[in-house]
């Protein structure tokens, strides 16, 4: 009798039964480059009614996040130094210490991250490349589909 070992090819997410974050993330994102002017950032954030956006290098790698808060710092710096806002660049004000989630995270893993960090959204990356963005609202939408069990 020959014995052929069977390997479990299911992912951890499939074993737990929770859906992947990639199913709920936004994929069509407004992004910026490090050399973009802050004046353009402020216009786009206002036009699209968003509070921040990822900053990507030429290889589409995530290198920062620029937010309304960062733009407010530019406004105050401009007032104090009597310079136009347009003289300031994204790379000088973006947040470089980024907390992101892996593309293979599940919605419960991300929900736990939202509890630990007071962010509104996380970028979703694969090998440093931005895949999308997931918000608290996306996770709440996913929560409606989670099958709860009794113990």
Extents of the domains making up the chain? 20-143
Q: What CA–CA distance (Å, rounded) separates 82 from 25? A: 41
Dihedral over Cα of 126, 128, 131, 136: its sign: positive
Helix (H, G, I), strand (E, B) or coil at 121: strand
Q: What CA–CA distance (Å, rounded) separates 145 from 28? A: 23
Average pLDDT over residues 25-44: 96
Residue 105 banded pLDDT, cuts 50, 70, 90: very high
pLDDT in tens, 85-104: 777 999 999 999 999 999 99
pLDDT beyond 80 at 77: yes
Q: What CA–CA distance (Å, rounded) separates 17 from 42? A: 41
Residue 78 banded pLDDT, cuts 50, 70, 90: confident
pLDDT beyond 80 at 28: yes
Q: How many CB atoms lie within 10 A of CB 15?
A: 9
Residue 149 banded pLDDT, cuts 50, 70, 90: low
Residue 145 banded pLDDT, cuts 50, 70, 90: confident
Give me the sheet containing 129-135, strands edge to edge.
101-102, 121-126, 129-135
Does the domain at 20-143 match CATH 3.10.580.10? Answer given as yes
Residue 17 banded pLDDT, cuts 50, 70, 90: low
pLDDT beyond 60 at 59: yes
Look at residue 14 in the predicted model and tell me its pLDDT.
Answer: 46
Q: What CA–CA distance (Å, rounded) separates 71 from 62? A: 19
């Amino acid at each position: 009798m020959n014995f052929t070992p069977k390997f479990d090819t299911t992912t951890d997410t499939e074993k737990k039964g929770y859906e992947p974050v990639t199913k709920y993330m936004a994929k069509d994102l407004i992004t910026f480059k490090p050399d973009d002017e802050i004046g353009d950032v402020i216009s786009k954030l206002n036009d699209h009614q968003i509070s921040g956006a990822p900053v990507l290098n030429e290889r589409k790698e995530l290198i920062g996040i620029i937010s309304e808060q960062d733009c407010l710092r530019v406004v105050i710096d401009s007032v104090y130094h009597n310079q136009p806002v347009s003289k300031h660049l994204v790379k000088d004000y973006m947040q470089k210490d980024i907390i992101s989630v892996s593309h293979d995270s599940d919605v419960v893993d991300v929900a736990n991250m939202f509890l630990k960090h007071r962010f509104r959204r996380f970028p979703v990356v694969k090998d440093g490349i931005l895949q999308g963005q997931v918000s608290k609202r996306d996770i709440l939408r996913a929560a409606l589909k989670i099958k709860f069990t009794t113990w």
